[in-house]
Amino acid sequence: MSTPSVLQFGTSRFLQAHADLFFAECWPDQRPVTVVQSSGDPSRAARLQALAKGYDVQIRGLSQGKPVEELRHVSAIARGLIFGTDMAEVQRIVAEQADILLSNTADAGFRRSAADEGRVLDPAMSYPAKLAHLLRARFEAGGRVVQIMPTELLRSNGAVLRDLVLEAAAAMDPAYRDWLREEVVWVNSLVDRIVSEPLHPAGAVAEPYALWAIEAQPRLRVPCVHPAVQVVADLGVIERRKLFVLNLGHSWMVSEWLARQKQGAVHVRDVMSDPDWAEGLRAVYAEEVVPGFAAAGEEAGLADYVETTLERFANPYLDHALADIAQNHAEKLERRIGAFLSWAEENGDTGAKPKLRAALEEK
């Protein structure tokens, strides 16, 4: 496959240890990525410069029961740009060069800004509004196909971003809006990897597990060939596994931790080192979660996913604090355990599920 030209919005350590690492491993002799720092935060300037020099990612954790400690060098990034000072060059790349626009913006990245009402491109605009203006230059230059790949943790993230860009382009040329809707390839995807801490000035520490699940569509260009990149017909199954196995397991642990008056564990790995506690979690999965997936016809591959999840929880190098997971605990219980119980019942699973119901009632 040919190497795409990738314009990446965001300098997060997640992308450094995820997509950028995949690009480096797929094309070790090429630098397909240009990174754009959207904020004007001067503290990130050193990181931006370091990215183009190459950086390391430490992979630390467990894989198939064995400890993993690996150092991988990432050299996929050609250069870094600051949106506010390099705006003309960003516009040129979008109009003439980029094949893929990749993003992992901050929590507020998709949120509307007062600057979005402006008629010309402004660094203070939200990411969707910036795209509305940037892509117009590509349309006016002939409209060569471009693929938009957000990695933000939103369901149907490509479709969500498309709708926000169309909203931001509401007052623009109708022909341009038609092009946005019909010719631009908006890709839904789901990403998963715990990236626990940054390295300085660039790089990160990450677990061995990694996933970039991409929803298939007719004109999709797979960004790279890599074991962590999976093209799937429907992201729904993967989304449910992440929510109702990984996230549900975290919330069940916190419920037990609170019931024990916050004694006996500090981190997720401590739960897995306690035989009784770990066995309780295994019982939740085997007796209460797996039957729900089986009733929905989604049991294939689930046993392996559960074992991988338990291995991720046991990562001896990861300081994943139960107190951090406990933030917004009541809301998380409803979204994870409450939603799972409703979904399982809707699919015909009428099991009592006492452990999950007890956790839900404690909120």
Q: Tell me the pLDDT tens digit for each residue of 333-342.
A: 999 999 999 9
CA–CA distance, 310 with 294 (Å, rounded to integer): 19
For residue 281, the SS3 value is helix
Residues 246, 219 within the same domain: no
Tell me, yes or no, whether 116 and 206 share the same domain. yes
Q: Residues in the chain with pLDDT < 70?
A: 42-43, 107, 363
Q: Does residue 131 sit in the same domain as residue 257?
A: no
The verdict on residue 1 lying in a domain is no
Domain boundary among 232, 263, 290: 232
Report the CATH number at residue 285: 1.10.1040.10
In sequence order, what are the residues at sequence separation of 6 or more whose Cβ sits closer than 8 angstroms to the Cβ of residue 7? 33, 34, 36, 90, 93, 94, 97, 98, 100, 101, 102
Q: Do 260 and 167 belong to one domain?
A: no
Whether 285 and 186 share a structural domain = no
Q: Are residue 218 and residue 261 in the same domain, yes or no? A: no
Instruction: Judge whether 82 and 48 are in contact, CB under 8 Å.
Output: yes
The encoded tokens of residue 161 equal 């971003």
In a domain, 100, yes or no: yes
The answer to whether residues 142 and 252 belong to one domain is no
Q: H/E element holding 150?
A: strand 147-150
* 99 belongs to a structural domain: yes
Domain boundary, last residue among 232, 252, 273: 232
Please, how many CA atoms are within 13 Å of residue 48, restricted to the half-sphere of its CB? 20
Look at residue 128 and tell me if it is in a domain: yes
Looking only at the bridges linking them, the beta strands covering 195-198 and 203-206 are antiparallel
What is the enclosing helix (H) or strand (E) of 196? strand 195-198
Is the domain of 84 the same as that of 21?
Answer: yes
Q: Is 69 helix (H, G, I), strand (E, B) or coil?
A: strand
Confidence at residue 41, expressed as pLDDT on a 0 to 100 scale: 73
- Residue 273 maps to a domain: yes
Which value, in Å, is the radius of gyration of the alpha carbons in the chain? Answer: 22
Final residue of a domain: which of 172, 204, 232?
232
255 belongs to a structural domain: yes
Task: Provide the phi-psi class of 214: left if phi over 0, else alpha when psi is between -120 and 50, else beta.
Answer: beta
d(CA 33, CA 271): 40
Q: In what order do the strands lie in the sheet with 189-192?
A: 189-192, 211-215, 229-232
Examine the domain organization and report whether 226 and 276 are in the same domain: no
Instruction: Tell me, yes or no, whether 148 lies in a domain.
Output: yes
- Cβ pair 24, 73 in contact under 8 A: yes
Under a CB-based contact definition with an 8 Å cutoff, are residues 195 and 14 in contact?
A: yes
Other C-beta atoms closer than 10 Å to the C-beta of 221 total 15
Same-domain status, 176 and 246: no
- What is the reported pLDDT for 271? 98
Give me the number of domains the chain comprises: 2
Q: What is the pTM assigned to this prediction?
A: 0.93
Separation CA 69–CA 71 (nearest Å): 7
Which CATH number does the domain housing residue 133 bear? 3.40.50.720
pLDDT of residue 216: 98
**Are 161 and 216 contained in the same domain?**
yes
Q: Which domain holds residue 185?
A: 6-232
The end-to-end CA distance of the chain, in Å, is 51
Q: Is the dihedral of CA 323, 328, 333, 339 positive or negative?
A: negative
Q: Are 189 and 307 members of one domain? A: no
> What's the longest Cα–Cα distance across the chain?
64
Q: How many residues does the chain have?
A: 363
pLDDT for residue 107: 65
